Amino acid sequence: MDYYATLGVARGATDDEIKQAYRRLAMKWHPDRNNGSKDAEAKFKEVTEAYDVLRDPQKRAAYDRYGVDGLRGAAAGGPGAAHFDLSDALNVFMRDFGFGDLFGEMRRSGAGPRPGADVRIVIPLTLDEVATGTRKTVVAKLLDPCEPCAGSGAEPGTSPHPCATCGGAGEVRRATRSFLGQMISVAPCPTCSGEGVVIGSPCRSCRGEGRRRAERELSIDIPAGVATGQYMTLRGAGNAGSRGGGRGDVLVVFEVAEDARFERDGEDLYCEVLVTYAQLVLGAEVMVPGLAGEIALSVPAGTQSGHVFHLRGRGLPRVNASGTGDLHVRVQLWTPSEVTREERVLIEQLGALQSVPVGNPEREKGFWARMKEAFGA
């Protein structure tokens, strides 16, 4: 399933765009609006599953990198992608929108400024940057308060006035009678759309919104040891709220590029180096890749191909903690695809001198099996 296509948004869609797309589709397919239709129920679950993944920075980063398979771990503690039933979908809908939205009404807790939305930024990193930590400067597209109207939405020289319909409360109450007695319902005021104020002369610069699009440079100090899908929060650095509301946050999501030298498992790194037959038999000093440059590794005489050396403290630092992972180096016999006539003669002579080992040697264990055995797993 393509979650972006399900919601009809681009892969680079903002959190606001994702939320708006989901709200529109959820209104269309909600079971209570479709007389319990099974087809509508299936569509409602589908769009809600997509929204639940894309609204969460860690789930979204895992999905962007690995697809649905990457959500198996990210889904722990939540509905996740493996099993998403109707109750899960309804819980997600109620959590973010409530009963009011089901009938086309925005749930609010009275009039007043509204906080701004969060902004999600993905920062690509190399393994070398992860090893040391780094500072990145990014340009974020944000909503800032409109300067001419100071965020009020009213033309300079004028000011909003309290809504006459709701008296500035931002909501209206309606009393209805039923066989259960009198019922009171609360809904946003239709005149002021729940704002509590009415703008007679909207600001021409922001058209009454009180905010304008802007670009801002953010310098972000990234700690060493971060991994793909992890994120940090910059409090109060996101979009400005409407009518003077506080700013949302900026969620900085990390995406670490694959490195041709290493495989990564947490703080530990794994690599493989090729060595010659003579180096394995006689012993040698070989150079292996390291994060800060090549490392001299002493290979004892008689080392078997596939042996793994463990270099303590040569891995990645633990994020926001003390200690460093290890570097695990597997030496692998290099077999030339072509040899010279002189080399062939020498190899044939060596083959004539050597005898085949007696008995049935144990079946060679795989690389990861040896890794587990080395750590007593």
How confident is the model over 96-110, as pLDDT tens digits? 764 444 433 334 444
**Residues 52 and 32 placed together within one structural domain of the fold:** yes
Indicate the range of 15-24, 30-39, 261-270 predicted with least confidence.
30-39
**Residues 113 and 56 placed together within one structural domain of the fold:** no
What the block records as the tokens of 82 is 């493996």
Q: Give this prediction's pTM.
A: 0.60
DSSP 326-338: -EEEEEEE---S-
Residue 159 lies in a domain: no
Alpha carbon of residue 118 to chain centroid: 14
The residue among 65 and 36 whose pLDDT is bigger is: 65
How confident is the model over 64-92, as pLDDT tens digits? 877 776 665 443 334 444 446 676 777 77
| Torsions phi, psi for 52 (to 5 deg) | -65, -30
pLDDT exceeds 50 at position 12: yes
The secondary element (H helix, E strand) that includes residue 74 is helix 71-74
- Across the chain, mean pLDDT equals 82
**Residues 126 and 29 placed together within one structural domain of the fold:** no
Which residues lie below 8 Å from residue 101, measured CB to CB, with a gap of 6+?
A: 23, 26, 27, 93, 107
Which domain range does residue 46 map to?
A: 1-107
Q: What is the mean pLDDT of residues 122-137?
A: 95
SS3 286: strand
pLDDT of residue 95: 67
**Residues 229 and 351 placed together within one structural domain of the fold:** no
**Residues 235 and 309 placed together within one structural domain of the fold:** no
Q: How far apart are CA 362 and CA 219, in angstroms?
A: 56
The residue out of 74, 107, 140 marking a domain boundary is 107
Task: Report the domain count for the chain.
Answer: 3
The residue out of 219, 237, 256 marking a domain boundary is 256
**Residues 348 and 270 placed together within one structural domain of the fold:** yes
CATH of the domain at 139: 2.60.260.20
pLDDT of residue 373: 59
Q: How far apart are CA 55 and CA 9, in angstroms?
A: 13
pLDDT exceeds 90 at position 372: no
How confident is the model over 268-295, as pLDDT tens digits? 999 999 999 999 999 999 999 999 999 9
What the block records as the tokens of 194 is 């729940």
